[in-house]
Amino acid sequence: MGQKISRLDEIVVNQIAAGEVVENPASIVKELIENSLDADAKRIRVAIQQGGLALIEVEDDGCGMSPEDAVLCLERYATSKIRSIHDLNSLATMGFRGEALAAIASVSCFSLKTSDGQIGTFIEVEGGRLQKVTPCARNQGTTICVSSLFFNVPARKKFQKSVASNSSQVRRVVEMVAASHPGCAFFLSFDGNVVLDLPIQERRERIETLFGSFAHEVEDSFVWGLLKEPKEAKSHRRDQFLYINARVVSSPIISKAVKMGYGTRLDETMHPSFVLFLKMDPKEVDVNVHPQKKEVRFADDSLVFQSIERSISKMFQPSLEIPSSLSFENVAPFRMMPDLQIPVKELEESVFLPFEFKERALAMVGSFLFLEKEELIVVDLKAAHARLLFETLKSPTKESQILLWPLEMDAVDDEDVDALRQLGIDCRLIGHRKMAIDALPPTIEAEEFSSFFMIWKETKKIENLSVKFCRQRKKRYSLEEGMDLWRGLQKCSDCLYDPIGNKIFKKVEEKDVGLWLQRG
């Protein structure tokens, strides 16, 4: 029958590998700058033209290569980063697979200029075929140029995205890698226009330069990171950046663990924004799952999940300091009270707070309580009430107060009665679709139960129920009632946020209070 199986040409082999490694210009940029970082570069310059399809140039001041290594680096599975199969269990470098440069050179016009500080070498490759190897002049470091990408595989080029889309992906890749290497300066340009110019920076400064300010910082034995407020959560996960041993990766397990750590502060459909850095024993994480090293596999998924969830949850526990950066969305009601007569009273009694300071109440402005410390804080009492109500309804040990006269409600059935009892509301059927309420939780007043019941019928999710009910209350709080809510808040599992992530209190400047009072 004759021989049907034959060995593929080396160029074809490399082009097949390119199908896995070289997805688009951004994937090439990622491979090249990771190699620069492995070469201990302190300055990396990236320039692209036409989204990277016309030109990708990456220049660094790393250790460079000798002439022998420069030639060898273009061979498939040639790498300086592993020597045996055992090394795969302890990888500490960014790149390691030894196929990227050969794959890139097979689908482009490729040139490399490098120097180890003693001898400079220039290499030119076209479509995987070596064209030239000559000495050259260059300071220590490496420059790689990739032009006419996919010129010899038009089917691949046909399915590339637009220049704008490719450029956006390149920028995102550079930003993600730069975030984890603040000790290296990065420069990025598109068609000669500067896009990024990042000097060497401190870690937090670099991250906030790239991704904006963050309200929360988490630091534990194996994780450090910055997280945004619950109210800044998104309907997508594109603003989640995860690094394991400085490598950019994705992990649905960790993404879910972070979300669980936020607890009820997030709606079920929303995802928190964060930048997290994990330090792990390389033996406990497999980074060789994906050809582009995008995904990882953990030796113990449940241990990683629980550790991350616990660290994030602990971050939200009350600390000894009131965060100075707190600002909540619901300041607008101050502007809606021009006709309020604002009574300013002072209470001489002091109460103990977990923040370890003595305070006194100064004033009530609508549903906002002003407290004096060394500085001034303002408490959104409706948010505080929502937190108290939520924790009361969720508590496994239900507390209720017996009503002097039972309340009666229409349009109920057995399921309603059972569900309300789960919330600590003592009720019973007394006729066809009629219910009597004998006792209520202390956070719900009898005259307000009708409103509570109507909202409960609309949304039975306790987080939303608590917030909506308290926001719609017509009740005006007295100064004493405000202080009672504040004291009760200190006993909650979370005294910083209401059940859907709105901040309950913040520091304010006295000049701001003056402006609010002037509006009155």
Structure-token pair, residue 180:
């984890």
pLDDT value at residue 6: 55
> Cβ distance 182 to 205 under 8 Å?
yes
Which amino acid belongs to residue 153? V
Beta strands in 61-184 (DSSP E): 109-115, 120-126, 129-136, 141-147
Q: Which residues pair with 365 in a beta bridge?
A: 368
What are the residue boundaries of the structural domains of the chain, listed by start? Answer: 10-198, 213-315, 326-399+441-520
Q: Which residues contact 89 (CB under 8 A, 6 or more apart)?
A: 282, 283
What is d(CA 328, CA 452) in angstroms, rounded to the nearest whole number? 25
Which amino acid belongs to residue 106? S
What is d(CA 449, CA 14) in angstroms, rounded to the nearest whole number? 72
Question: Domain 10-198 belongs to what architecture?
Answer: 2-Layer Sandwich (3.30)
pLDDT value at residue 316: 82
Please report where in the chains the tokens 């910055």 appear, as a residue: 226
pLDDT value at residue 12: 55
Helix, strand, coil distribution of the chain in percent, nearest 5: 35, 25, 40
pLDDT value at residue 354: 39
pLDDT value at residue 510: 55
Q: What is the dihedral of CA 165, 170, 176, 179, to 10 degrees?
A: -130
What is d(CA 477, CA 365) in angstroms, rounded to the nearest whole number? 9
**Angle value at C-alpha 94, between 45 and 278, nearest 5 degrees:** 110
In a structure prediction context, what are the per-residue pLDDT tens digits for the chain, which is 520 residues long? 556 555 555 555 555 555 556 889 999 999 999 999 999 999 999 999 999 999 999 999 999 999 999 998 888 655 554 444 444 454 455 543 447 888 899 999 999 999 999 999 999 999 989 999 999 999 999 999 999 999 988 888 888 889 999 999 999 999 999 999 999 999 999 999 999 999 999 999 999 999 999 999 999 888 999 999 998 999 889 999 999 988 888 888 999 999 999 988 888 888 999 999 999 888 888 766 555 556 678 888 888 999 999 999 888 875 434 444 333 333 333 322 232 233 523 222 333 333 444 567 778 888 888 887 667 888 999 999 999 999 988 887 777 888 888 898 887 787 888 889 889 899 898 878 888 999 998 888 888 898 999 899 888 789 999 999 999 887 788 888 888 898 888 888 888 889 988 889 888 765 555 555 554 4
> Cβ distance 34 to 94 under 8 Å?
yes
Select from 113, 126, 91 the least CA-distant residue to 14.
126
Which amino acid belongs to residue 134? T
pLDDT value at residue 261: 92
pLDDT value at residue 54: 96
What is d(CA 446, CA 403) in angstroms, rounded to the nearest whole number? 8
Question: Domain 326-399+441-520 belongs to what architecture?
Answer: 2-Layer Sandwich (3.30)
User: Residue 337: what are its φ and ψ, rounded to 5°?
Assistant: -125, 50
Q: What is the pTM of this model?
A: 0.65
The DSSP letter of residue 248 is E
CA 96 to chain centre: 27
> How are beta strands 43-49 and 185-190 bridged, if at all?
parallel
Find the DSSP H helices in 107-162: 154-158
Could you please state the CATH topology (level 3) that the domain comprising 213-315 is classified under. Answer: Ribosomal Protein S5; domain 2 (3.30.230)
Q: Which residues pair with 507 in a beta bridge?
A: 377
HEC string of 168-202 equals HHHHHHHHHHHHCCCCCEEEEEECCEEEEEECCCC
Please report where in the chains the tokens 């340009």 appear, as a residue: 189
Which amino acid belongs to residue 442? P
The DSSP letter of residue 7 is P
What is d(CA 318, CA 391) in angstroms, rounded to the nearest whole number? 16
CB atoms within 10 A of CB 31: 25
